[in-house]
Structure 1
Amino acid sequence: MNNIFKGRKALITGGLGFIGSNLARRLVELGSEVSLIDSLIPEYGGNLLNIAGLKDKVQVNISDVRDPHSMRYLLNGQNYLFNLAGQTSHLDSMKDPETDLEINCRSQLAILEACRKYNPEIEIVFASTRQIYGKPDYLPVDEKHPLRPVDVNGINKMAGEWYHILYNNVYNIRSCALRLTNTYGPHMRIKDTRQTFLGIWIRCLVEGKPFEVWDGEQLRDFTYVDDAVDALLLAASSPEAKGKVFNLGGDCAISLKALADLLIKVNGGGEYSVRSFPAERRRIDIGDYYADYSLIHSVLGWQVKVPLHEGLANTLSFYRQHLMQYL
């Protein structure tokens, strides 16, 4: 895989965000010419601090994926598109569905049209989400599970994913999608819950404050960001991935209460309280979820390398050093 990216041009939408910046760092190490697109809209997670030490090694474009003229220009000549930009808050999607539609659905179609017209040789990996499954009928959830999103964000992400697969199948714009689960690690958003609840838990622990666990019995799985980056690179470099969707997952399924206990153990102290779900969140909650990721393992050879306890320790260590920069 290392030689495939050397000297090749890679464009990352949402490139100043959590996963995008970690991916950029890896691509630079692999010898790619890396360009980043990010709107730096405060609610969406982009942060120039995420590329500290990388600024002279990547090209940064402060632009919005909703701008078709900008995207047409930036896509020209690129070998790879890692399409990570998105509105990630489920609650925000219910309060402001039009903005979610623009970012997660309409702009995805515009990006694919720009690729079809001006760069049909590009290879695309789309960051989809496990949210599109909705409430699971069975566990673990595989890619054959029915898709029944429970919120506006899930519906728009599902449409964005299907556009990518459609353009692969009809126009041979080589695309695939990864259905991400709870991704965590250094550079994740910790100032609110727009990206993941785990960010707030980590922030509270580092600040020496108690955090809240809602319900506590629900099961979840978690992917460390380095493992997610591995999957993105494998998907981009493997002809077998084209036209397919793959689940990502973690090394275990764990209840939220057990996760909180593990986090406190890894941290060496801390406390939390258990409370019931707020009504506005309960309406769009999916219950237990953990993925069957045997398909990406069998087709691309992806596997979880970083166990949960190690990933949590790495993340806590990062924010002990950089907390103020992420508030």
Structure 2
Amino acid sequence: MPDFNQHNYLTAYKGSKVLLTGGAGFLGSNMAHRLVEIGAYVTLVDSMIPTYGGNLFNLKDIISKIHFNISDVRDQNSMSYLVNDIDYIFNLAGQISHLDSMSDPFTDLEINCRSQLALLETCRKINPTVKIVYAGTRQIYGNPDYLPVDENHLVRPVDVNGINKAAGERYHLLYHSVYGMRTASLRLTNCYGPRQWMKDNRLTSQGWLLRLILENKETQLFGDGSQLRDLNYVDDVVDAFLRVGAIEASNGHFFNLGGAPYSLLQQVETMIELAKRGSYRLVPWPPAKKAISIGDYYGDYRKIKAMLGWEPTIDLRTGLKHTIEYYDKYKEYYF
């Protein structure tokens, strides 16, 4: 298997066969566009469950250039067929709503644990040389003991989703250490950009804040709005996945993503300034959200920078400008 370095990693995908689970969602569709652009043969699988983020409009520009399979990652027969003869799997499918995981913990367990284990077992038996990159989350750290949070921080989730996502990641790393499979994980922070879920605040609070502003409505910030978050524009996130997939040094590793921290108040004020509409109001914390809030968070991404050459390149103002332009043009398909 050729090893691609930090400078030529994109050439790994030209002519390769790539499978994206959760492919019609935010990250999957943006990654599919990039992979098609660089010459990969792309297959998407998505359950298209209405509340999980899949959107056919996300694929409108590339639908004739990909294979699209409407199926659930929990369907082992379907996945056995789909993983055969694939070179790279970007495993993005999952239940990502923290509140949903608390109200329906068993569904979260089934999607974020059992289906992950089933996918790995299927690959071990049918396609053991495939490279698998898992979409993890910074939520597994829970309330940070220090900032910025590096990969040595304790894993101490504050909700069911965090526990199950941590388990899903460990399954991937276990299959590397025990079976020698080529697996790795990215611990994503707050991602934003075009093709994001915007219908409610279940899957992304940041996207929901932006939607309210674009509709010239008042948005509410909990507490004093000083909670710090780092954000990554989706193009930077896609680049991180492609580096992890192509560069063999990533096998068996997990990596933080991250960027410059901004308070929620700073984020909202920047949105309002760029959109030239909207307003905000500070309100007390709802008890259900306060119970699973992690306070300030921003990640230390020095590991992925040192090993794979990744760092964020798109600043908040530029990313928000591109995002606002996209939704102003296509909001009927997202709002």
Bin the TM-score by the shorter chain.
Answer: over 0.9
Unaligned runs of 5+ in 1: none
Give the deviation of 1:289 after TM superposition.
0.3
Corresponding residue for residue 299 of structure 2: 291
Give matches, 1:1-327, under 5 Å: 1-215=9-223, 216-250=225-259, 252-327=260-335
Q: Distance in 2 between matches of 1:272 and 1:190?
A: 18
Could you say what secondary structure the match of 2:51 adopts? helix
Offset of 1:38 from its aligned partner?
0.2
> Once the two structures are superposed, what CA deviation does each residue of 1:196-237 show, in whole Å capped at 9, x if it has no partner?
111111111221111111121111000100000000000000
State whether residues 84 and 126 of structure 2, in contact with CA within 8 Å, keep that contact through their aligned partners in structure 1. yes
Shift of 1:29: 0.6
- Is the 1:115–1:173 Cα contact (8 Å) retained in structure 2? no
The amino acid of 1:185's aligned partner reads: G
Unaligned runs of 5+ in 2: 1-8
Give TM-score, length-normalised by structure 2.
0.96
Query: In 2, Cα distance between the equivalents of 1:57 and 1:235?
Result: 24
C-alpha separation between the residues in 2 aligned to 1:266 and 1:221? 19
The 8 Å contact of residues 179 and 248 in structure 1, kept in 2 or not, is answered as yes
Kept in 2: contact 1:128–1:177 (CA 8 A): yes
What is the alpha-carbon distance in structure 2 between the residues aligned to residue 206 and residue 243 of structure 1? 42
Name the SS of the counterpart of 1:175 in structure 2: strand
Residue aligned with 2:144, SS: coil
Distance 1:203 1:140 in 2: 29
Structure-2 separation of matches of 1:47 and 1:152: 26
The TM-score with structure 1 as length reference comes to: 0.99
Identity of aligned residues (%): 53
SS at match of 1:42: coil
**Mapped contact 1:186–1:315 kept (Cα < 8 A):** yes
Mean CA deviation greater in 125-134 or 258-267: 258-267
Q: Deviations over 1:280-304 (max 9, x none)?
A: 1111111110000010000000011
SS at match of 2:125: helix
CA distance in 2, matches of 1:307, 1:82: 25
Question: Which AA in structure 2 matches 1:27?
Answer: L
CA separation in 2, counterparts of 1:134 and 1:200? 22
User: Aligned equivalents of 2:298 and 2:106: distance in 1?
Assistant: 30
Distance 2:11 2:140 in 1: 34
Mapped contact 1:183–1:228 kept (Cα < 8 A): yes
Are the counterparts in 1 of residues 214 and 277 from structure 2 also a CA contact under 8 Å? no
CA distance in 2: counterparts of 1:194 and 1:17, whole angstroms: 14
Counterpart residue type for residue 224 of structure 1: Y
The answer as to whether partners of 2:215 and 2:278 remain within 8 angstroms in 1 is no
Shift of 1:194: 2.0
Give the RMSD, CA atoms, in angstroms. Answer: 0.7
Q: Which AA in structure 2 matches 1:12? A: L
* Alpha-carbon separation, structure 1, partners of 2:120 and 2:312: 30
8 A contact 2:10–2:242 mirrored in 1: no
- Alpha-carbon distance in structure 2 between the residues aligned to 1:306 and 1:65: 32
Moved beyond 2 Å, runs of 4+:
none
